[in-house]
Amino acid sequence: MQQKIDAAGRLGTEPISRLLLQYSIPAITGMLCNALYNVVDRIFIGQAVNEIALGGISLVMPLMTVGMAFAMLFGIGAANMISMRLGQGRREEAQNALNHCFFLLISAGLLIMTFTLIFLDPVLSLMGAAEGSEALGYAREYFRITLYGIVFFLLSFGLSHCTRAQGFPAITMIGMILGAVLNIVFDALFILVFRWGVQGAAWATVVSQFTVTVYILFFAMSKKAAVKLNLSRFKPKPAVIMQIMAFGSAQFLLQFMMSAVQLLNNTSVGWYGADSLGVSNGGDVALSGMNIVGAVLMLILMPVFGINQGAQPLLGFNYGARKFDRVLRAYLGAIAAASSICIIGFTVVMLFPVQLIKIFSPDGSDALMYFAPRAMRIMMLLLPLSGFQIVSTNLFVVTGRPKISIFLSMLRQCIALIPCILIFGRLWGLWGVIIAAPVADGFAFFVTGAFIIFELRKLKKNKELNSAAGVT
């Protein structure tokens, strides 16, 4: 038992830089591996099927993001609650949060699967493809199969956050690596050997996510876990569910708004692409190009999300323990690391856009090679500012003010970006839709900066009060 307590308790004693590195590296590895589920699928599909199939995968991204939103609502919500309750010494409440998380994830997955399978064609028809689009057929093949594994996706992603929050980031990292490696192996087998096309990519994802779920559950129910999953002691409590949802609401809304933006992007790109690219299937080509740009952006931002998640247990535990000096140092360290990754990604994108596109589509059409590199450079003009935005939004969650975090999460994804897409698209067509992204990034950066100035002042004031009272 003492070893379990030490696993969480060291969050309040060991050097911040060491803990941030120790927690962020597994989280970064895990997030990159999670990104590889989609990115590797796209690479194999683009190289072994065709570039229009990439457009089909783009059509289902808003729906898959909705699934991710629920995984974050319950997974990150429970993880935030677990880390804070451990910091406060309330271990039984932390275990209760984990038990609730498990059942909430399963319930959400079953509901999403059932509803979407029943209304699959009507739902897909709303995803932005033009009438008669070849990409729509690929989308239907891919998404029907991935729905069968949506429960495993939610469980593996959501419970991984809870495992990290209680002081075992390496377990999460191993699970994500396992899933990513299996996804690559089965992609190669199902797509290149069996020639199953987009269906092979979908089955590879389902099998790998099932494996990760089994691995995480095995640990969560073992004696090694600091907070053990104990289903026999589960008693549903509406108050606990509401707390979990409150803690995870910021990330949920962010992902949900991302889904709305992806849908609006698909619709706008499909509509304007037909006229702007000068080819009969311009809408499908533009969708494929945006899918590739999204994959590259995902690879850059996943390490940033990993740093954010790695910092979360440090921020939550130390804020719960009223060690405000450590909260401040963990926040600033996470900002520096996240911004560094964004700057590196920005540099690579600006220097090698064509080479990045060819990884996904080595024989891409002239229209794709004209559109995608230019779109990539424009959309990521203000990428270096994203690290600050992501980490700062999470700070308000652990300081007990989720409403501000929700607002800042929605700011870039909804409040600023959606109007920009609508207005600029009407003014400048396809390229107006592309320009909307950096404009929204800049607006969100300045508003978040204004909020964070006041928050940092409060943390410094609390730190000074602690020092005056002799609290370390």
d(CA 465, CA 400): 19
Residue 3 pLDDT class (50, 70, 90 cuts): very low
The pLDDT score that the predictor gives to residue 14 is 81
Q: 59-69 pLDDT, tens per residue? A: 898 999 899 99
Cα–Cα distance list, 23 to 6, 175, 313, 379 (Å): 15, 15, 8, 30
d(CA 154, CA 72): 8
Residue 410 has pLDDT above 70, yes or no: yes
The pLDDT score that the predictor gives to residue 235 is 83
- Could you tell me what percentage of the chain is helix, strand and coil, using 3-state DSSP and rounding each to the nearest 5? 85, 0, 15
Tokens in use for 248? Answer: 């995870």
Residue 134 has pLDDT above 90, yes or no: no
The pLDDT score that the predictor gives to residue 470 is 60
The DSSP call for residue 383 is G
Residue 89 pLDDT class (50, 70, 90 cuts): confident
Say how many CA atoms lie within 13 Å of 126 toward its Cβ: 10
Helix (H) or strand (E) holding 425: helix 417-468
Cα–Cα distance list, 255 to 39, 137, 191, 343, 408 (Å): 18, 26, 29, 23, 13
- Higher per-residue pLDDT: 257 or 74: 74
d(CA 262, CA 274): 18
Say how many CA atoms lie within 13 Å of 66 toward its Cβ: 17
The residue behind tokens 């609730």 is 100
The pLDDT score that the predictor gives to residue 143 is 93
Tokens in use for 51? Answer: 């570039």
Nearest CA to 201 out of 68, 35, 33, 43 is that of 43
d(CA 22, CA 162): 17
d(CA 433, CA 289): 13
pTM: 0.81
Average pLDDT over residues 161-167: 85
The pLDDT score that the predictor gives to residue 87 is 77
| First and final C-alpha spacing in the chain | 26
The DSSP call for residue 414 is I
The pLDDT score that the predictor gives to residue 1 is 45
CB-based contact 424:274 (threshold 8 Å) = no
CB-based contact 29:299 (threshold 8 Å) = no
Nearest CA to 47 out of 260, 357, 319 is that of 357
Report residue 228: phi and psi, to 5°: -90, 135
Residue 456 pLDDT class (50, 70, 90 cuts): confident
Angle CA 63–65–69, to nearest 5: 120
Q: Is 428 exposed, middle or buried (0-12, 13-18, 19+ CB in 10 A)?
A: middle
Q: 174-184 pLDDT, tens per residue? A: 888 898 899 99
Report residue 340: phi and psi, to 5°: -60, -45
Residue 340 has pLDDT above 90, yes or no: yes
The pLDDT score that the predictor gives to residue 270 is 85
Residue 236 has pLDDT above 90, yes or no: no
Tokens in use for 24? Answer: 């962020």
Mean pLDDT score across all residues of the chain:
88
Q: Read out DSSP for 95-112? A: HHHHHHHHHHHHHHHHHH
d(CA 445, CA 442): 5
